[in-house]
Structure 1
Amino acid sequence: MHRLFGLLLALPLMALAEAPATPVAPAVTPMAAAGIGGQLVQLLLGLLLVIGLIFALAWVMRRVQQFGPRGGQAIKLVASQALGPRDRLLLVQVGGEQILLGLSAGRITPLHVLKEPVLLSEAEPATPEFAQRLMELLGKDQQGPKDKDKT
C-alpha cells in the first residue's frame, strides 16, 4: 500500500527529471486560438480525474479495512433500548461479563454488572421491524383523536 502511494507521489518528479536539459522553443498558440471549448473540456477532464481518484482511494481503503480482525472482538453489543431521544440503555458483553450501561448526551455510566449473562434467542429479533412499528404508531395516533370526539 505504501509503495503504491510512494509511486503515485514520485511520478511527477520522475517526469521532471526526464525533461530535456536544453530549452525547446514552445509552440506559440494564443489563448484565443485554443478556444474556450478546449479549456472547458480540459477542466472537466481534470475534475473527472480528481473525482475518480477520490472514489478509487475510498474503495481501496474499504478493502484494506476489511482485512482486519472480525471475529476476535472483545466487546460485543448484546442489546440496546432507547429511553428518550438522547438516552439509552446498552447491554455490553466484555469477555464473559455483561455490563448494563446508561448512555446519555456526552456521558456513559456503568449501571450494573450482571452475575448471570442474559441470553437472547437468535430466531426472535430484539426490536420489531420498522414498518410494523410505524404502523402501530400511526394506528395509535389515528385512534387518539377519534376517542376524544366520542367523549
Structure 2
Amino acid sequence: MGFDTHTKNLTRALLTVGLLSVAAMPAWAQQPGPGPLSGGGSDYFKLTLTLIFIVGLIFACGWLVRRMAGGTSFNNRHIKVLSVMPLGTREKLMVVKAFDDYLLLGVTTNNINTLHRFDEPPDLTETPLTSPFADRMKGLLKGLDSDPLAKHQKNAKNRSNSGD
C-alpha cells in the first residue's frame, strides 16, 4: 500500500520536528550529574523542567499535525447532526444531513440504522409541544395554582386551527 504525497510530507515534517527537538534539547538534561539519591533540590527542578518541555513538545506536535493536515479529520462541512433525541441511556434518534440527503438514524451502542430518508429537508424550526404535566410543574414551582390542563388544551386547539 503506497502513501500519497500529502502523507509523505506530513511524515517528513513530523520526523523533522522530532529530530530538531532531540537536537535542541537543553544541555542540562543531557549532562550526567549526581545520582537521584543525592537529595539535591536542583534534581527536582531539572526533572520538572524536562517534564514541562516534553508536555509542551507533545502539544506542539499535535498543533503541527492539525496544521499540516489542514484539519481534514475535523472538518464537518458535508455531514451535520441537525437534531438529537435521547431515547434511553445509550440509545438516541438523530436527524443528520449528509451532503444533500436528510436521514433519520437510530443509534445504539452496537449499531446505527437508517430509519427514514427524507425526500425534502425537514422543518426543524417548530417549537416543541409542552405537556400538561410540564405546565402543572411550572405553575407549582412559581407558586401559582392555575389550571394548566385548560391552558394546554387551549394551545392545542389554537395550533390545530392555525394549520387549517
**Please, what TM-score do these two structures have when normalized by structure 1?**
0.53
Aligned: 1:5 with 2:17: no
Mark the CA change 1:97 to 1:13 in structure 2 (over 3 Å): closer, same or farther. Answer: closer
Q: Deviation at 1:8?
A: 3.8
Match of 2:104 among 100, 106, 110: 100
Match of 2:65 among 48, 53, 61: 61
Cα deviation 1:50-101 (Å, max 9, x = unaligned):
122122223333444554394741x322221111221111112233332211
Structure 1 segments unaligned to the other structure (5+ residues): 16-28, 128-136, 145-151
Determine the C-alpha separation between the residues in 2 that align with 1:112 and 1:3: 45
1:109 maps to which residue? 113
The answer (yes or no) to whether the contact 2:14–2:61 under 8 Å persists in 1 is no
Match of 1:49 among 48, 53, 64: 53
The total of aligned residue pairs comes to 117
Mapping for residues 118-133 of structure 1, pairs under 5 Å = 118-121=122-125
Q: Deviation at 1:113?
A: 1.8
Match of 1:79 among 63, 83, 101: 83
Structure 2 segments unaligned to the other structure (5+ residues): 1-9, 25-32, 129-133, 142-164
Identical-residue share of aligned pairs (%): 30
Q: Deviation at 1:41?
A: 2.5
1:5 partner letter: L
Determine the C-alpha separation between the residues in 1 that align with 2:18 and 2:86: 48
| Local SS of the residue matching 2:85 | strand
**Please, what TM-score do these two structures have when normalized by structure 2?**
0.50
Determine the C-alpha separation between the residues in 1 that align with 2:54 and 2:84: 41
Q: Deviation at 1:14?
A: 7.3
